[in-house]
Structure 1
Amino acid sequence: MAKPHIANHYLQATIRGAQRQGHDACSLLTQADIPNDWLGHPEQLITEQQLTHLIKSVWRATRDEFLGMSSERCNNGTFALMCEYCISSATLGAVLRKSAHFYRIVCNNLDIAMEAHDKQVFFRLHLKDARNDTDHLLQEFLILMWERMSCWLVDQQIPFAHTQFNYPAPSHEAEYQAMYPGELKFNQGVCGFQLHEKYLHLPVVRNEQELREFLQAAPAYILHRPSQDESLRSRIQALLARHDYVDMPGLTTLGELLHMTPRNIGRKLQDEGTSLRKIKEAQRREHAVRLMTTENLSIAEVSEQLGFSETAAFSRAFKRWTGCSPTRWQSNHNH
């Protein structure tokens, strides 16, 4: 059995909306195979599987995907219907736009939209009326759903620049550090998350069969925390991800952000078997390969998004990375 690592806080927070509707706490916990005497014992951590089962028991009891924590019910199956509507999209950007359009139509209590500003994209995901979300669990869960779904659809961990909330840091703030990648911002005007616009072009690589398995297991994948990489390389990769490939910061700027000297950064990266140049090149290579799987992007468009001034320069770099030209690689992988 997986090691428990989720705060006990989430037992009470998950069932509070159902209790408000008159459902019995002991019955909900029993359905999830969680001992009733665990409730209210902060030292008793729970597993992702236990929280998954508890959320499912609350969904069944309330017939509400919003767990009884919204001023309006969201019928069970709504999220699945949205995913089915979006799965045929070519890119992550298309999924985010379509999902926002879908929920604006079916959920009056959700302020959801995608806004672009200076090459950064903010995905607003905000409860208009949060009076019933006293523990902020629904708001947490909504953001987690969209961030984890986005990563799953493109099969990579997207380095979100920041995740923000319109309330003060809660007592269980340590859980947020594990749940949400990137910077956390509290006391903001609205809730949502930000990412660089280049990630909107990542191709959706999941198919309908994989989606069915994803939904059948829900919310298991959404609650699963990816392993944390504490290496300097990983920290630098996350910082570089906030920039265009044309203006990725150098050692001096990274040193200021990381409170390290450029010399120490170079030495530590060398100890990890890499360098800033190799990290930047690897990011360009990985992004190029992913973009090349999107059939509606030309080689010239991929070259431009990766910051190359000429398509010929990109072609030379791509052949150095992969051993073949972009044209041949595209022909081999898109048919």
Structure 2
Amino acid sequence: MVLMVSEEVREAVDARRPVVALESTIIAHGLPRPRNLQVALELEEVVRREGAVPATIAVLDGRPRVGLDKEQLERIANEDGIRKLGHRDLPLAMASGASGATTVSATALLAAFAGVRVFATGGLGGVHREWTVTQDESADLGLLARTRITVVCAGVKSILDVPATLQRLETLGVAVAGYRTERFPGFYLSDSGHPVDWTLRSPAEVAEVMRAQEALDGPESALIVANPVPEAEQLDPELHARVLTEALHACEEQGVTGQAVTPFLLDYLVRHTDGASLSANLAAVRGNVRIAGSIAAAWAGA
């Protein structure tokens, strides 16, 4: 693969200095302009404050890039026609010279190719509701089952079937640990209502697990570090439950299916919570990025 790694990221990886991968879908498709660029720059600054190098990942003109400069970030934020790329889309985008923002699966894959070991995002994809009918499951899960990377996230998106997703991760052999919590986070919510089997209390403990993964030399699977959004910044649970029920009903009524379901539901929540769901999402992302920076520093100091 012709992977374009920025000089700053390449030098940091070669010197075993801390690096944190960041996805670009939130920039191109998750936020309105000009807030999207402001958030992108803010998240990179959060990484730097933790002593790590940010590596925002995207594909520009058919070239996968790990580490974007300001001009490239501006393209992802402001250019019309930026596609949304999962890992399956990468060869198509490369061959056609397309530009696109990377989802969790594409970001994790490209980060791992570049030697970046820690990745921060908002919420993972997972098993969709009504899976027995639709067989709809995010590509995130299968990719994480075969990619050695540590993902700091706020659980899986609460619009999904959370217990089924946790069961699927177990089946795939993907390690899951709560970060300073015994409960699995619910993306917009601090608690999804489901427990975790393992809890890690510090960046040093996470780094120890990463070292153990290396020592075992087993399957190249990910480590998911599930960090809850602070209760004070979560979406009100009653509001979340009510609006999500309405959103699912609207989705069925309007015949929304396949890849259109997740963006439809997320957009519905933003509009019908007066933006509160977006605020909770951003609070979760900021916290995840900060902790990822600390984990990357602990890993680099191993």
Question: What TM-score do the two structures reach when normalised by structure 2?
Answer: 0.30
- Which structure's residues are more often strand, by fraction? 2
Greater relative CO, 1 or 2 (CA 8 Å, sep 6+): 2
Q: Mark the structure with the bigger radius of gyration.
A: 1
Question: What TM-score do the two structures reach when normalised by structure 1?
Answer: 0.28
